[in-house]
Amino acid sequence: MTYEHALVIGASGGIGAALAAALAGRSARVSTLSRSADGLDISSQHSVDAALDRLGGPFDLVVVATGALQIDGAGPEKALRQIDAQAMAAQFALNAIGPALVLRHAPRLLPRERRAEFAVLSARVGSIADNRLGGWYSYRASKAAVNQIVHTAAIEIARTHPEAVLAALHPGTVATAFTEKFVAPGKATPPEEAARNLLAVLASLRPEDTGGFFDYSGARVPW
């Protein structure tokens, strides 16, 4: 798939940086946004609106590569008694509300007359049907929520952008600062490989796949 202009949000993270580099390597013009480089607070509507209103467009590809498993030292819960209202709200703000705030701009960011793709990084643990281990209440719930947000947005966007493909993507376990406390060394995919996988999946999707939840191999993940 050839992209003329792509936007990567969360480009200072491991996967986001790898995606931006991979797209630039394909001669795409890449715009990037991140907290560290641009002061973007994806959980703030004012911050998201201000950042996106400054951008041109349209974009053939928009990727929201933000997210966190541990916020302000609060790791994933192992038991119900560990649920904390503030920690859960922070998970939803970053992992679900943030992508929703970006999606508000999708009708303007995406071209109407040709194919375009909008991807949000999700996680397999957000699948309700695939949950056999329990735990991780806040993170699981926030990812299930963003899956619903992407699916619902795809229905609306299809009415005005019939060639658009919106997708929630599970990148696998990737070797980044995000996972280093939870995954043994050598058991995670390098970010560069993960980026290639995700771009290949997007290229394989058709407009009728819009709103779906897919893993890094292109397989559908159950809701």
Q: DSSP readout, 74-142? A: B---SSGGG--HHHHHHHHIIIIIHHHHHHTTHHHHS-SSS-EEEEEE--GGG-STT--S---HHHHHH
Q: Are 168 and 214 in contact (CB under 8 A)?
A: yes
- Tens of pLDDT, residue by residue over 121-178, are 999 999 999 999 999 999 999 999 999 999 999 999 999 999 999 999 999 999 876 6
Q: Which domains does the chain have, with CATH numbers?
A: 5-215 (3.40.50.720)
Q: Are 8 and 65 in contact (CB under 8 A)?
A: yes
- The pTM of the full predicted model, rounded to 2 decimals, is 0.94
The predicted pLDDT at position 179 comes to: 60
What does the alpha-carbon distance between residue 66 and residue 60 come to, in Å, rounded to a whole number?
19
Pull the structure tokens for residue 120.
């949000």
- Tens of pLDDT, residue by residue over 89-118, are 999 999 999 999 999 999 999 999 999 999
Q: Are 10 and 198 in contact (CB under 8 A)?
A: no
What percent of the chain is modeled with pLDDT above 90? 92
Sign of CA dihedral 145, 9, 1, 161: positive
